Amino acid sequence: MNKVYPDAQAALHDIADGAVILAGGFGLSGNPENCIREIARKQVKDLTIVSNNCGTTDKGLGILLAQGQVKRMVSSYVGENKVFEQQFLSGQLEVELCPQGTLAERLRAGGAGIEAFYTPTGYGTQVADGKETREINGRRCVLEHAIRGDFAIVKAWRGDRWGNLVFRKTSRNFNPLCAQAGRVTIVEVEELVDVGALDPDQIHLPSIYVQRIFQGTGYEKPIEQRTIRPRPGQGQARS
């Protein structure tokens, strides 16, 4: 039951070319930064990455794009990243755009053992092209298939040695969903504690979904766009 690894390099030792990776995070919030840096260091390629987005031009998953390691992205938001735009327009990067709620439900279904579901979201748009549709309760719906990955890389605030996890505020976004849908789920935490240190009623994700866990280091917690309220008499300051 002790699932602890010393660091990202040990925990991600078997990620290879062509892997399907589910990556938690929303924008740059809740990114598994140590895992991303290790995948960049390993320089594995032809990856399929499922994530709400692909970071920014030089932060988050954008690091892997910049190194040419990503072959295909399944995402719901693709702004904030010039490299993503360039690679997509040149044909270097395959992209599957998926409505955000549908992406979340496809991941949840993957973790719950549900193979597919119908949703009205996307009917009548390009999202529905080539997919099975049917009318349910008077609404036209699209059949969407569950998503599962070879690996899930996840960031949590606190975790114990068995892999019980607590997420912090907005970092509890796509992280639990990715963790549930990964065949091998690798978690980095800001604080690794002994079993029994976490209040059972406060655990957000139970250990059954986690195969490997390690304590991360060097978190930057970058901000995508910083907006500052101006002082009286000054214009808006933005960086």
- Count Cβ atoms within 10 A of the Cβ of residue 27 and give its class: 0-12 exposed, 13-18 middle, 19 or more buried: buried
pLDDT digits (tens, 9 = 90+) for 2-18: 899 999 999 999 999 99
| pLDDT at residue number 156 | 97
Q: Are 202 and 174 in contact (CB under 8 A)?
A: no
Q: Taking the model in full, what pTM does it have? A: 0.91
Q: Which residue has the higher pLDDT, 238 or 171?
A: 171
**Where residue 170 falls among pLDDT bands split at 50, 70, 90?**
confident
Q: Which residue ranges form the domains of the chain, and what is each CATH number?
A: 8-116+146-215 (3.40.1080.10)
| d(C-alpha 44, C-alpha 35), whole Å | 13
Q: What is the pLDDT of residue 235?
A: 61
pLDDT, residue 228, reads 81
Give the residue, 204 or 81, on which the prediction is more confident: 204
The string of pLDDT tens digits covering residues 132-166 is 999 999 999 999 999 999 999 999 999 999 999 99
Q: Do 2 and 194 meet the contact criterion of CB atoms below 8 Å apart? A: no
For residue 119, the one-letter residue type is T
- The two tokens of residue 101 are 């709620």
Out of 61-70, 138-147, 179-188, 224-233, least confident range: 224-233
Note the helical H segments in the chain.
8-11, 33-42, 62-66, 82-90, 100-112, 175-181
Q: Which amino acid is at 104?
A: A
Q: How much of the chain exceeds pLDDT 70, in percent?
A: 97
Query: CA 186 → CA 27, 99, 213, distances in Å?
Result: 20, 26, 6
Cα–Cα distance between 26 and 17 in angstroms, integer? 25
Q: What gap in Å lies between CA 22 and CA 178, rounded to an integer?
A: 6
